[in-house]
Structure 1
Amino acid sequence: MIDVILGLQWGDEGKGKIVDYFAPNYDIIARFQGGPNAGHTLYVGDKKVVLHQIPSGIFHQNTINLIGNGVVLDPVTLKKECDTVASFGIDVKKNLFISERTNLILPTHRALDKASELSKGDGKIGSTLKGIGPAYMDKTGRNAIRVGDLLDKNFTSQYIKIRLKHQKLLDNFHFNEDISQWEEEFFEALEFLRTLNIVNGEYFINNHMANGKKVLAEGAQGSMLDIDFGTFPFVTSSNTISAGVCNGLGVAPQKIKEVLGVTKAYCTRVGGGPFPTELHDATGEELRKIGSEFGATTGRPRRCGWIDLVALKFACMINGVTQVVMTKADVLDTFEELKVCTSYNINGTEKAEVPFQMTRVNIEPIYKSFKGWNSDSTKIKEASAMTADMHTYIKFINEYIGAPTRYVSNGPGREQIIRL
């Protein structure tokens, strides 16, 4: 069977630490979508490591890590990450595997991403400029180069063909930046990539499951950034929800058992796009400051606000969430009053559903207030040590979204997780 960990908000929920926490219980950790726009932060000892492409189980010596076919892979980012991981004494050539169907991000994909975003002016979607969108466009346009193509003698001609196609598009954007340095790094990274374990991903994972191995599928970004169900057009280019596990790894739906959804105790968002509960006041600034809310991939300050239960219930519904993991509960330790959004006032009508196009309507959040717990939660080890106010806050959320919170993260440390 296969369990899934994914984000229920707009990404940045702290999934890296959660995957790292659960990794010892699994034989295989598999990334099923996204690319280097993901930033999964882990702490190895007292050192902070941010992973963008490699699954978060890499620091567990006996765990197999698979980059699935649903991922778009930047060889340059991967090589840098492998070098970082190797500096901790981990042999990536032993426990990192890459599906041959995984699509490559080329230097011209990054250039196209940048050119496209610059051309949008005030209509920017907040792209991370990592080449994700153009890479997925080539995938759906059936032009992509995949990892397995590296082993083909015609790879160079394939590359030149797509490079020329991209250049025409760049000329249309009047993009004149010199990317020769990017290409130099790219071809150097390709040589490294060829030395890694390139496998037939779908047979690899299904054969392991047939032999009783336990698999944890690791999602990137969050459900509200899903290409179909997120806040379109301010979304990512892949399916970030649990359905993406099937086509991102090549596993059947009935193989999925537990779906662990990760949510912060409040809400954040990086880049553009609708965010109904965003706070533009001192409270929002306080959340950002206490929570160190700056993007792991971009370094951009995150927009902050109260937890949005309308969006959270929607995310639990479309994912079939069986357990919730609440992160960064400790960030709320000093607040006298906490608020949760229970419905939206949309053009004078109260609704508890996520609208088709958030950008086309005026959404005013309707809140329910709770008394803050006003105590240091970072030292708590057991649920019994949580205050009554903390229990009340979590209990209300559970009842509203119809899914149980089983774990509460109360600090960045690997051991700072309370099991409920």
Structure 2
Amino acid sequence: MRGIGPAYEFKYGRRGLRVGDLCEPQRAREKITAIAEHVNRMLRVLGAEPLDPRPICDRYRELGEQIAPFVTDTAYYLNRAIAEGRTVLFEGAQGTMLDVDHGTYPFVTSSHASAGGAAVGTGVAPTRITAILGVIKAYTTRVGEGPFPTELQDDVGQLLQQGGGEYGATTGRPRRCGWFDAFAVAYAVMLNGCTALALTKLDVLDPLPEIKICVGYRRHRRTLTEYPASCEELRECEPIYETIPGWQTSTSGLTRYEELPLPARRYIERVSQLVGCQISFISTGAEREEMILVPGRAVDRILA
């Protein structure tokens, strides 16, 4: 019963404990006791030790007292801030292809990881959101299981993994790495309605003499025009690649677009063309200052 999955099962099963409940000790105790009864029925079937809800209630009462001054109706809080002309920034977690509805189901998370999740989760109407910045890597990664058409299980894959520090922040588990998948990113750009993109980890590609970009999928000898609707179909796809020259010179720490090697600029421009969205931010290192802002209307709209 660990992880975000069981938490969402309880939420959608109408059994969840909400933050506001913690500010009402009696109500919280009643709900925790009811939840424990439900869980204990399952534990008994499995032959496991049942839970005692009393220490949980006591601990949550203490936590409720601590957080009570900070609890509010965030929908009102955020909408008031917007009405006052304040800037509000929402940061999404995970990625579009892990979205429970539009991702590679069942290898997904339990929530809406696309831009629409911002409106669903905050109570801020979609019409109040003025710009959407999509964040992509200069190559593709995936954590855990699931189909991955451009995955590299060779020296290049190891170079991307090590150069990009592709290890889980919590578990330390290595991320799977592969060539940039423009077909998947174009699908994500469509789903999110991106205003602009931020391209990260460009410098990880510096050592490569040539770079491949996945421009489409082929399945059963047929070139697809739309992203596959199921994992079963995606597993049967082979990537269609376009190969471009690498630049084999350091881009680390560069902060001006014109400083980038010409092949790197051509790579960025080709990616932008394939995914159908302007790349307005380019990360060239791990530090905040190692960032290129590409002038244009998209940047102005994002930073407005």
* Structure-1-length-normalised TM-score: 0.66
> How do 1:10-409 and structure 2 match up within 5 A?
112-113=1-2, 131-152=3-24, 153-175=26-48, 187=60, 190-191=63-64, 193-360=66-233, 361-409=235-283
Q: State the aligned residue count.
A: 291
Q: Does 1:411 align with 2:294?
A: no
Query: Take 2:255 and 2:189, find their aligned partners in 1: how far apart are those partners?
Result: 27
**In structure 2, what is the Cα distance between the partners aligned to 1:189 and 1:283?**
51
Structure 1 counterpart of 2:43, one-letter code: L
Aligned mates of 2:156, 2:65 — CA distance in 1:
47
Spell out, residue by residue over 1:163-208, the C-alpha distance to the aligned partner (whole angstroms, 9 max, x if none).
121222234445559999x959964872564355101111100011
Provide the rounded CA distance (Å) in 2 between the counterparts of 1:264 and 1:183: 42
Q: Contact 2:202–2:283 at 8 Å: present in 1 too?
A: yes
SS class of match (2:90) = strand
The alpha carbon displacement at 1:407 in A equals 0.5
Residue aligned with 1:396, SS: helix
CA displacement, residues 309-352 of structure 1 (integer Å, 9 cap, x when unaligned) = 11100000010001000011111011111111001111221114
C-alpha distance in 2 between matches for 1:164 and 1:201: 31
- SS in structure 2 of the partner of residue 375 of structure 1: coil
SS in structure 1 of the partner of residue 244 of structure 2: strand
* Structure 2 CA distance for partners of 1:397 and 1:186, relative to 1, 3 Å: farther
Contact 2:23 2:64 in 1 (8 A): no
CA gap of 1:195–1:148, structure 2 versus 1, over 3 A, is closer
Would you say the 8 A contact 2:29–2:57 is kept in 1?
A: no
- Partners of 2:20 and 2:206 lie apart in 1 by 49
Range with bigger deviation, 357-366 or 286-295: 357-366
Query: C-alpha distance in 1, partners of 2:31/2:200?
Result: 44
Paired amino acid for 1:394: I
| SS of equivalent to 2:281 | strand
| CA distances 1:257-300 after superposition (whole Å, capped 9, x unpaired) | 11000000001111111111111111111111111110112211
* One-letter code aligned to 1:237: S
Distance 1:199-1:191 versus aligned 2 partners, 3 A rule? closer
Structure 2 Cα separation of the partners of residues 136 and 335 of structure 1: 42
- SS in structure 2 opposite 1:366? strand
Residues 231, 273 of structure 1: 8 Å contact kept: yes
**Take 1:283 and 1:394, find their aligned partners in 2: how far apart are those partners?**
19
- Which residues of structure 2 form unaligned runs of 5+? 295-304
Runs of 4+ in 1 over 4 A off after TM superposition: 173-180, 182-186
Q: Give the whole-Å Cα distance in 1 for the aligned partners of 2:275 and 2:52.
A: 47
Question: 1:156 offset after TM fit, Å?
Answer: 1.1
- Relative distance call for 1:184 and 1:287 in structure 2 (3 A) is farther
Percentage of matched positions with identical amino acids:
39
Bigger CA radius of gyration: 2
Q: TM-score, normalised by structure 2?
A: 0.90
**Contact 1:310 1:352 survives alignment (8 Å):** no
Residues 1:184 and 1:144: Cα distance change in structure 2 (over 3 Å): closer
Distance 1:136 1:400, change over 3 A: same
Q: Is 1:138–1:144's contact at 8 Å kept on the other side of the alignment?
A: yes
2: CA distance, partners of 1:189 / 1:397: 51
Q: Which amino acid aligns with 1:306?
A: W
Structure with greater strand share of residues: 1
Does the residue aligned with 1:338 lie in a helix, a strand or coil? strand
SS of aligned partner of 1:289:
helix
**Rounded Cα–Cα distance in structure 2 between residues aligned with 1:174 and 1:365:** 47
Q: Secondary structure, in 3 states, of the residue corresponding to 1:137?
A: helix
Instruction: Specify the SS of the correspondent of 1:313.
Output: helix
Partners of 1:174 and 1:285 in 2: CA distance: 44
Unaligned runs of 5+ in 1: 1-111, 114-130
Structure in which a larger fraction of residues adopt helix: 2
Task: Verify the 8 A CA contact 1:273 1:359 in the aligned structure 2.
Answer: no
